[in-house]
């Protein structure tokens, strides 16, 4: 039986916390099956100031959560805050390049590049782009 497992990670300036939850059919909320916590190093006031130390803090908390839940963590949702971090929504346009109307990865990537170009990046850097939806011919 495939288990529906979800992992959440919160990296704060003082503590890194990991929670492993399992969604059970018929239950509203996930059941917590493991947690991990470690002191955060390398993050100060929400800013990553030392990447290797921050990575070590994250790995320590994940290792503890894996032992407590008996789950090997491969993917997770992570939250890391800071006054300078924020999410932006943007839209872009891509033109289908094939005459037969087939949408290729190149077409999708060009639309994503257009999204990035439409953002105001004064003194900002894009860390990650997450496509949320696509439309073809306005649908």
Where do the structural domains in the chain lie, given as residue ranges? 4-80, 90-139
Checking if the pLDDT of 39 tops 90, the result is yes
Is the Cβ–Cβ distance between 36 and 59 less than 8 Å?
A: no
Is the Cβ–Cβ distance between 114 and 93 less than 8 Å?
A: yes
**pLDDT confidence tier of residue 66, bands split at 50, 70 and 90:** very high
How far, in Å, CA of 84 to CA of 45, rounded? 10
Checking if the pLDDT of 75 tops 90, the result is yes
Task: Identify the bridge partners of residue 79 per DSSP, sorted by sequence position.
Answer: 10
DSSP character for 30? P
Q: Identify which of 4, 39, 50 has the alpha carbon closest to the alpha carbon of residue 25.
A: 4
**pLDDT confidence tier of residue 121, bands split at 50, 70 and 90:** confident
Domain 4-80 belongs in CATH node 3.30.420.40: yes
Q: State residue 51 phi and psi, 5-degree precision.
A: -60, -50
Is the Cβ–Cβ distance between 90 and 20 less than 8 Å?
A: no
Is the Cβ–Cβ distance between 47 and 82 less than 8 Å?
A: yes
Q: What is the pLDDT of residue 80?
A: 75
């Amino acid at each position: 039986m495939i288990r529906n497992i979800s992992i959440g990670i919160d990296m704060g300036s003082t503590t890194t916390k990991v929670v492993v939850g399992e969604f059970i059919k018929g239950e509203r909320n996930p059941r917590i099956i493991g947690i991990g916590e470690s002191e955060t190093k390398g993050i100060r006031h929400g800013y990553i100031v030392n990447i290797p130390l921050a990575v070590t803090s994250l790995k320590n908390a994940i290792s503890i959560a894996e032992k407590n839940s008996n789950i090997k963590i491969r993917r997770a949702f992570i939250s890391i805050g800071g006054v300078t971090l924020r999410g932006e929504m943007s839209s872009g346009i891509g033109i289908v390049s094939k005459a037969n109307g087939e949408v290729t990865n190149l077409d999708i990537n060009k639309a994503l590049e257009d999204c990035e170009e439409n953002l105001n990046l004064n003194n900002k850097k894009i860390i990650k782009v997450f496509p949320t939806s696509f439309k073809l011919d306005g649908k």
